[in-house]
Chain A
Amino acid sequence: MNEIVHIGPWELAAAYLLLAFPFAIILWYRVPMLGETVISLVRMTVQLLLVGLYLQVIFRLNIVWLNAAWLMVMVAVADVSIVRSCGLRFRRIAWPVSLALAAGTTAPLMLFTGLILGRHNLLDAQYAIPIGGMILGNCLRADIVGIRTFYESIRSTEKAFLQSLAEGASLHEAVRPYVRKATQAALAPTVATMATIGLVSLPGMMTGVILGGASPATAIRYQIAIMISIFSGTAITVALAIRLTTRTSFTPFGLLDPAIFRDRPKK
């Protein structure tokens, strides 16, 4: 297979020419998102340039603790994003969610690099950072859906939840139906993706491996392994995040603490 074609600054600038199409549509129909689009484009460019520079350094040095620190930074950023998107109080759930994210990312990542790829250095930058990033990115999406579903469901069916406590359920038993519903909601997109992968779109990792010069046969093996890792990571993260946040979100009497929400309940 051929080596990947390098994209120079001028060639990259040419990619921005493609923006003529969405901008023309936005301006023609006066879609009220021009400013938002420009800001997002600038953010994307600056963020990726900075991350690219930083990753180049990390890849060149390839020091285990530095790679681990970078993964932890990614976990912290994902953590903040999840908590904000869930509409819950940062102080109450940030720590449990970060633990769940760290566990849900680390466990499949270590198995991927150690067992599947057979790397002695489990945190080799070339593998650990992109694979860890893919697992974490999916955990982030799943966690937002899972945590939000869990807490919103309990809040919206408070009467049924309290009835289960009155009937003698322990807190663990009372939240079980909500955990089931939240886990299903969180995992459903990954399950659906697995069912259609390769038919509807060529997945990101497979594309990356092919562009990197590997054969499609190698690329699909990477893709299968990453899908299983993502599924495993999201399941661990969602279950753990709900379990750990439950400890800080309920009163000693087993009631959902309304102070956990940043907004007031919808009437």
Chain B
Amino acid sequence: MAKALEANDLEIRFGVQTVLRGFSLALASGEKVLLTGPSGCGKSSVLRCFLGFVAPGAGSISIDGEGLTAATVWRLRQRVAYVGQEPDLGTGTAAQAVERPFHYRANAGLRRNLDRVPELFERFHLARDLLQKDVGSLSGGEKQRIALISAILLDRKIFLLDEVTSALDKAGKQAVADYFHSRDDATALIVAHDPEVFSFVQRIVALPGNSQAKEAT
């Protein structure tokens, strides 16, 4: 069966600096994997490689068994939900930020998912009146949870989560962990500095500080 996410012999370079070399990783469908390692070792870049936001110097990326290329990237991105570090929700109110992705043609048929906003707000301990607030006035933790809700509403089966709980309190972190723990159907590649929050993952992959990556289980 095709892997949900697969990176083969990946090399990531920024200018003359090689951040990662010879890195391989495969996630089966429904698997949750935590990616750890010291700052600057390339964790976020690995996630961004799966979206085509970072072009690997060498190696290949596959999503659901299909190679990520210029021709496939637009379709494959629609299978992946990405929540980045310190998400930028754009301008306007939180409600507008949550609704924005549904204006895109790719998500036009998912508009009914917005009915789940109240339930998800409750689940992630967010007050309903937050929806009317300007995104500029939201705290880091509120932005993280709204970005997460926005990603969940897109009904995608693969999640790339980059430090999504870094600004949350203990209860908020637990709510996020409980959600993904309960999603047996979802594949998740999670970057986090607090592995204890994501204790339910099947594997932890440690990226070393140098450019020689190893896979640990």
Cross-chain contact A159 with B51 (CB below 8 angstroms): no
In the complex, are the beta carbons of A252 and B77 less than 8 A apart?
no
B171 sits at the interface (CB 8 A): no
Given A163-B84, A163-B87, A163-B88, A169 contacting B52 (CB threshold 8 A): no
Is A11 engaged at the interface, CB distance under 8 Å to the other chain? no
Q: Are A157 and B88 in contact (CB under 8 A)?
A: yes
The reply to whether A170 and B55 form a contact with Cβ atoms under 8 Å apart is no
Instruction: Please tell me if A72 contacts chain B, counting CB pairs below 8 Å.
Output: no
Is A76 an interface position by the 8 A CB rule? no
Q: Is the CB of A168 within 8 A of B53?
A: no
Hey, which chain B residues are within 8 Å of A167, CB to CB? 100-101, 104, 107, 150-151, 154
* Residues B77 and A165 in contact, CB atoms below 8 Å apart: yes
Q: Is the CB of A168 within 8 A of B51?
A: no
Residue A166 CB within 8 A of the other chain = yes
Q: Does chain B have a CB within 8 A of A177?
A: yes
Nearest A-chain residue to B78, judged by Cβ: A168
Q: How far is the CA of A166 from the CA of B89 in the complex (A)?
A: 13
Known A-B contacts A162-B53, A163-B84, A255-B53; A168 and B90 likewise in contact (beta carbons under 8 Å):
no
Interface residues of B in 86-120 (CB under 8 A from A): 86-90, 100-101, 103-107
CB-defined interface of A155-195 with B at 8 Å, one 1/0 digit per residue? 00101101111111110010001000000000000000000
Contacts of B86 in A (CB 8 A): 159
Minimal beta-carbon separation of B13 from chain A (angstroms):
15
Most buried by B among A163, A164, A254, A255: A163
CB-CB under 8 A from A170, the residues of chain B are 74, 104-106
| B196: min CB distance to chain A, Å | 27
Asked if B70 is at the interface of the complex by the 8 Å CB criterion, the answer is yes
What band does the interface of chain A fall in when counting residues whose beta carbon is under 8 Å from B?
10 to 19
A-facing residues in B39-77 (Cβ within 8 Å): 51-53, 55, 70, 73-74, 77
- Contacting A at CB under 8 A, from B124-174, are 147, 150-151, 154
Interface residues on B, range: 20 to 34
| CA–CA, A251 and B105, complex, Å | 21
- Residue of A whose beta carbon sits closest to that of B48: A162
Which B-chain residue is minimally distant from A167 (CB atoms)? B101
Q: Is the CB of A159 within 8 A of B154?
A: no
Give the residues in chain B near A160, CB-CB below 8 Å. 88-90
B23 beta carbon closer than 8 Å to chain A? no
B106 touches A168 (CB 8 A): yes
Question: Which of these, B70, B81, B82, B106, contacts A253 with CB under 8 Å?
Answer: B70
**B7, CB-defined interface residue at 8 Å:** no
Shortest CB–CB separation between residue B105 and chain A, in angstroms? 7
| Chain B residues whose CB sits within 8 angstroms of the CB of A157 once the complex forms | 88, 90
What residues of chain B lie closer than 8 Å to A177, measured between beta carbons? 90
Q: How far is the CA of A169 from the CA of B82 in the complex (A)?
A: 13
- Contact A159:B88 (CB < 8 A) given known A166-B82, A167-B154, A253-B55: yes
Q: Give Cα distance in the complex from A110 to B98, angstroms.
A: 46
Interface residue? B190 (CB, 8 A): no
In the complex, what distance in Å separates the CA atom of A164 from the CA atom of B200? 30
| Min CB gap B82→A, angstroms | 4
* Interface status of B12 (Cβ within 8 A of chain A): no
Check B88–A166 contact: CB distance below 8 A. Answer: no
Q: Which residue of chain B lies nearest to A157 when distances are taken between CB atoms in the complex?
A: B88
Query: What B residues does A164 contact at CB under 8 A?
Result: 100-101, 104
Of chain A, the residue at the smallest CB distance from B55 is A253
Rounded to whole angstroms, the CA-CA distance of A164 and B151 in the bound complex is 11
Report B-chain residues with C-beta under 8 Å of the C-beta of A255. Answer: 52-53
Q: A159-B87, A251-B70 are in contact. List 6 more A-B contacts (CB 8 A).
A: A157-B90, A163-B87, A166-B81, A173-B104, A253-B73, A255-B52
Provide 15 A-B residue pairs closer than 8 Å at the C-beta atoms, listed in order of the A residue. Answer: A159-B87, A162-B53, A163-B82, A163-B147, A164-B104, A165-B51, A166-B51, A167-B154, A168-B77, A173-B105, A251-B55, A252-B73, A253-B70, A254-B52, A254-B73
| B interface residues with partner A (beta carbon < 8 Å) | 51-53, 55, 70, 73-74, 77-78, 80-82, 84, 86-90, 100-101, 103-107, 147, 150-151, 154
